[in-house]
Structure 1
Amino acid sequence: MSLDAPDAPADIRRLAVIDMGSNSFRLVVFHHVPGHWFRLVDEIREPVRLSEGVRNGRLRRRALARAHRAAELYAAYCRSAGIDVVDAVATSAVRDAENQDEAVEAISAGGVLPVRVLSEDEEAHYGFLGAVNATTITDGWFLDIGGGSLQVGDVRDRELVRSMSRPLGAVRLTEAFLSGDQQSSGEVKRLRAHVRDALGEVKWIAPRGGRLVGVGGAIRTLAVMHQRRENHPLFDPQGYLLTRAHIGELLRDLLASPAPKRDSLPGLKTDRADIILAAALAVDEVLHATGADGVEVCAHGLREGVMYEHYVPGDAQLITDVRRTSVINAAERFGYMKAHSEHVARLALAAFDATAALELHPADPGDRELLWAAAILHDVGVLVDYSSHQRHSGYLVLNSGLPGFDHRELAIVSLLVRGHRKGMPSPGPYAPLLRRGDEDALAVCAAVLRLAEQLDRSRAGEVRGVRCAVRDGALVVGLECDGDPTLALWSAEREQDAVQRAFGLRLELEAV
């Protein structure tokens, strides 16, 4: 599925997805036009700790009372907010409970909320669906660790071909193995051995390496903790790579800090402080079992997977081109000028290709794709205000996130968008994210984007194409026009400095 379908219907649907997990309950509200765009508009999280203190497989009355109060709150919210569809799902804590009927009565607020108790396969499916539609993974591994269970999946050709689920969630592991305020080496070893043995029972889990995408609150928390630890310039877990070395660093920090004081560690919330060590140890064991070099963190998971079932037409719920869809979805959310943005993108790509044919730059396909994304999104800041809208555009791109793009790519798109009118922003705090050659590529992409923007200054599409040649120390850009080129010629002439900086050539313009 792609978001390029024209003439999106005006009816916006309001969907509430309620994830009733072992550690917390979370209600998220999506506004969406099926097959066109969606956005997250609200979220309520309650640390219910449903699986806390489970004895003989039965959920405790105190935990069920907390769950019932949260469910009543969510039901009241959905009534007040005019939600069209409520889709509430319960996972391992309820699924595995001996007193499941009593639990369902509690979490449905006495039957007010329609609750589905997901099977292991359904839970894995939804978690994977959320992740595969927010990353570019084709083959590799899928990991979801919650409060009650841990799931590992085998991904082949963007399909979850098999998966396993075990009661190895952060809450359960903490209660079973990590007692007291300071964990002993023996407790840590026993927890590791337990997880290792459980993974070892699954014959298809072998250290073959490859990408591993991880979802769930614990994994997101570990990513944020490491970002804070390293003063990473973007505090967004989506697309962040937690390597084995990073996990090792976090484990040393956690083991050196008594449990009651762990919430002082940057990026760690109080209600996860007592269970995050178990989660980190489990993730480390999964990395060793699969041979993966690290966890590629995905902020989308089970809740988004449930949402996609409502949002994506058809049976597969798979987005065909994650990166393109991500850009178009963001543009639609911010009410972009579709015709103008797409025309600027066509002109910018034509200029990029023409200058590449002249061997003025390496013609990197990755740079070309980032240029396209920036061209589509360059004017979204007008939503805030036209004045300095390039800055607003850069901020919106950087802070709304683009699933499927890593942090380096997100920074580059934001810098290009911010530089599409005036100057060329320095990488500044994002310099550590860039690679060798990126600043040269930024100069090239900024020059052709700015040129394309000026060529469609009238928003009328009068310049339908460009031709490029090098002549007597100049980049000669020929404009293929369907109307009067006067405005385009005058406006594009202002980009002399950008062309000189990118190509070391002066700019000459002519109508052809």
Structure 2
Amino acid sequence: MGNNRRIGIIDIGSNSIRLAIYELNHHQAHRVIGEFKQSARLSSRIGSDQILHTPDIRDIVDILIQFKQICQANQVTEIRAAATAAIRNAANSQEIIDQLLQESGIEVELLSGEDEATIGFLGMSNSLDIEDGILVDIGGGSTEVSLFRNRKLEQSVSFPFGAVNTARKFSMDGSLNEEQLKNIRLMVLTAITEEPWIEQHPQLPLVGMGGTIRSLSKISQKKRKYSLSRTHNYKMEAVEMEQLVKWLPSLSTDKRKKVDGLSKDRVDIIIPGMLILDTIFQAAKCSHYVISGAGLRDGLFHGQYLPAPQLTASSILKQSTTNLLGLHASAPIEHLEQVAGHAVLLYDALQGIHQYDSRMRLCLHTAALLHRIGVSMNYYQFAKHSFYMIAHSPLNGLSHREILLCACIASYKTKGKVHQTYQQHKDVLHETDVDVITKLGTLLQIAIALDASETQAISSIRAAVEGKQLHIAAAIKYNPSVEYREVDNAEKDFHKIWNMKFSFQTFNQV
């Protein structure tokens, strides 16, 4: 563990109680090193008197004590715990908070609906580069709906219904008839009429958080045989959700248990949660769905333990890339930055030839910065480790396709291997991406060659295209013999892929 700092974040939700353990290293880079969950169904335990009684409070205490033991075993030095709708809405909420502190030793923050929406937005906005949208977080006992514009939270509301208490209100066994389905929608629509702003911003994406939409996205991915195992920033079209809204309620509870992607502890609450989500989507006239894997726990961590973010679309990717480099330091940062700078300079010089857009430039720059992270696994054949780590790490600010492009460019060896990867991910990549990856991969190989010694022997370069030839002029500080050899090797692949000649000249730095 060394000088690393470990922090436990506990979310006492209405459906489940979760612990996430974050680790911060000396670079201030962070990662989740453990997640633990206990089903609680607190919303269904509160009786008609709106009181959570002592035996049920004791169950929460037992879970908190268990989580505290897990934290101690993982050398966690700080714990931040927060409670949401179920405890917030209980008539004896303060008594619950007091008893939790007294018996578990953990101080629990009681979040208001506004707090919950704000913290959830913070978690989402640090991990997605969406400028405008409707954010919907369906919990067990409440649903937070927020409007954000230009990456700023403008309005929010917390509705007192979620997947668990709605299921309890309309169906005890998970089965719902047509009348009950209509009544759930009517409940949601009635609430929306009190918040007219929800219907006044059509054609925005609905960004969904919470177990309901994560489960629906997993069902979608299983049905599509999706080749990437990540739900964060996964997109679903309205027509696909409409099909799920028709199909899932038609299944018996037993058949629902066999649906790929749906966990058994959600079988009885997925339909109410899905109807809440779909009703909001329809009322807001949203364009499509985007799933956020980040939410309240991430917001609790970011808000207290990380510097205040700039919250611009470009900063999301920069922060995420810097974080990965801080976790997997494997080359001098001066080398990586020089490689990235040279790669995009070559890209710009060849713009008139390839005519790719600014997003491809961003992918090349990111791939250049991250191409060596596989060394942290094993130096030998590190390229394949870099591919896996980029493809499966939380690289925020990029679409799934762009993440795969970065992984392929960073690990580029031959066009044949690129084609093999395309065959494995045809559902994510475009057929034309084979050519894109191959061309940008060769540019990265030249950029790597230009600092092969990792000493910045070549301090800067100029590049220009004349006819069918790329000219590179390099200013040298030290003996660039290693760079000469590697550039010569990279030249052959460039000529073959780009069908262009290549000239390389050096001059002494003044």
In the alignment, which residue of structure 2 is the partner of 1:78? 71
1:329 counterpart SS class:
helix
Residues in 1 aligned to 2:247 and 2:410: alpha-carbon distance in whole angstroms:
38
Aligned: 1:251 with 2:253: no
Aligned AA (1:464): S
Aligned: 1:344 with 2:348: no
Does the 8 Å CA contact 1:344/1:449 hold for their aligned counterparts? yes
In the alignment, which residue of structure 1 is the partner of 2:379? 386
Deviates more, 1:453-462 or 1:485-494: 485-494
Does the 8 Å CA contact 2:418/2:438 hold for their aligned counterparts? no
Aligned: 1:456 with 2:470: no
Does the 8 Å CA contact 2:64/2:104 hold for their aligned counterparts? no
In the alignment, which residue of structure 2 is the partner of 1:205? 198
In the alignment, which residue of structure 1 is the partner of 2:14? 22
Residues in 2 aligned to 1:265 and 1:256: alpha-carbon distance in whole angstroms:
12
Residues in 1 aligned to 2:26 and 2:11: alpha-carbon distance in whole angstroms:
21
Residues in 1 aligned to 2:270 and 2:302: alpha-carbon distance in whole angstroms:
29
Unaligned 5+ runs, structure 2: none
In the alignment, which residue of structure 2 is the partner of 1:195? 188
Aligned: 1:466 with 2:461: yes
Residues in 2 aligned to 1:211 and 1:336: alpha-carbon distance in whole angstroms:
38
Aligned AA (1:157): N
User: Matches of residues 110-509 of structure 1 in structure 2 within 5 Å?
Assistant: 110-206=103-199, 207-314=201-308, 318=311, 321-337=315-331, 338-356=333-351, 359-419=352-412, 424-426=417-419, 427-435=422-430, 437-470=432-465, 473-509=468-504
- TM-fit CA distance, 1:437: 4.2
Aligned AA (2:457): E
Residues in 2 aligned to 1:131 and 1:472: alpha-carbon distance in whole angstroms:
47
In the alignment, which residue of structure 2 is the partner of 1:4? none
Residue 381 and residue 112 in structure 1: after superposition, are their counterparts in 2 closer, same or farther (change >3 A)?
same
Residue 420 and residue 353 in structure 1: after superposition, are their counterparts in 2 closer, same or farther (change >3 A)?
farther
Post-superposition CA distance 1:277-312 (Å, at most 9, x none): 111111111111211122211111010101012233
Does the 8 Å CA contact 1:242/1:294 hold for their aligned counterparts? yes
- TM-fit CA distance, 1:195: 1.0
Post-superposition CA distance 1:124-148 (Å, at most 9, x none): 1110000011111222211111111
Does the 8 Å CA contact 2:174/2:269 hold for their aligned counterparts? no
Decide which of 41, 48, 54 is 2:40's aligned counterpart.
48
Residues in 2 aligned to 1:22 and 1:318: alpha-carbon distance in whole angstroms:
29
Does the 8 Å CA contact 1:18/1:28 hold for their aligned counterparts? yes
Does the 8 Å CA contact 1:146/1:169 hold for their aligned counterparts? yes
Residues in 2 aligned to 1:34 and 1:196: alpha-carbon distance in whole angstroms:
49
2:145 counterpart SS class:
strand
Deviates more, 1:96-105 or 1:36-45: 96-105
Residue 61 and residue 247 in structure 1: after superposition, are their counterparts in 2 closer, same or farther (change >3 A)?
farther
Residue 107 and residue 500 in structure 1: after superposition, are their counterparts in 2 closer, same or farther (change >3 A)?
farther
Deviates more, 1:468-477 or 1:437-446: 468-477
Does the 8 Å CA contact 2:415/2:438 hold for their aligned counterparts? no
- TM-fit CA distance, 1:252: 3.1
Residue 276 and residue 35 in structure 1: after superposition, are their counterparts in 2 closer, same or farther (change >3 A)?
farther
1:214 counterpart SS class:
strand
Aligned AA (1:440): D
Does the 8 Å CA contact 2:446/2:491 hold for their aligned counterparts? no
- TM-fit CA distance, 1:333: 1.0
Residues in 1 aligned to 2:444 and 2:310: alpha-carbon distance in whole angstroms:
34
2:42 counterpart SS class:
coil
- Aligned alpha-carbon RMSD (Å): 2.2
Residue 298 and residue 336 in structure 1: after superposition, are their counterparts in 2 closer, same or farther (change >3 A)?
farther
- TM-fit CA distance, 1:68: 2.1
Residues in 1 aligned to 2:456 and 2:182: alpha-carbon distance in whole angstroms:
67
Deviates more, 1:179-188 or 1:463-472: 463-472
- TM-fit CA distance, 1:171: 0.3
- TM-fit CA distance, 1:267: 1.1
Residues in 2 aligned to 1:34 and 1:405: alpha-carbon distance in whole angstroms:
26
Post-superposition CA distance 1:343-380 (Å, at most 9, x none): 11011111111122xx2111411101010110110000
1:404 counterpart SS class:
coil
Residues in 2 aligned to 1:373 and 1:409: alpha-carbon distance in whole angstroms:
10
Residues in 1 aligned to 2:289 and 2:100: alpha-carbon distance in whole angstroms:
32
Deviates more, 1:454-463 or 1:490-499: 490-499
Residues in 2 aligned to 1:299 and 1:400: alpha-carbon distance in whole angstroms:
13
How many pairs does the alignment contain? 500
Residue 200 and residue 33 in structure 1: after superposition, are their counterparts in 2 closer, same or farther (change >3 A)?
farther
Deviates more, 1:268-277 or 1:318-327: 318-327
Residue 423 and residue 459 in structure 1: after superposition, are their counterparts in 2 closer, same or farther (change >3 A)?
farther
1:110 counterpart SS class:
helix
Post-superposition CA distance 1:87-115 (Å, at most 9, x none): 00000000000122443245446151111
Residues in 1 aligned to 2:476 and 2:38: alpha-carbon distance in whole angstroms:
59
Residues in 2 aligned to 1:192 and 1:501: alpha-carbon distance in whole angstroms:
60
Does the 8 Å CA contact 2:173/2:268 hold for their aligned counterparts? no
Aligned AA (2:170): F
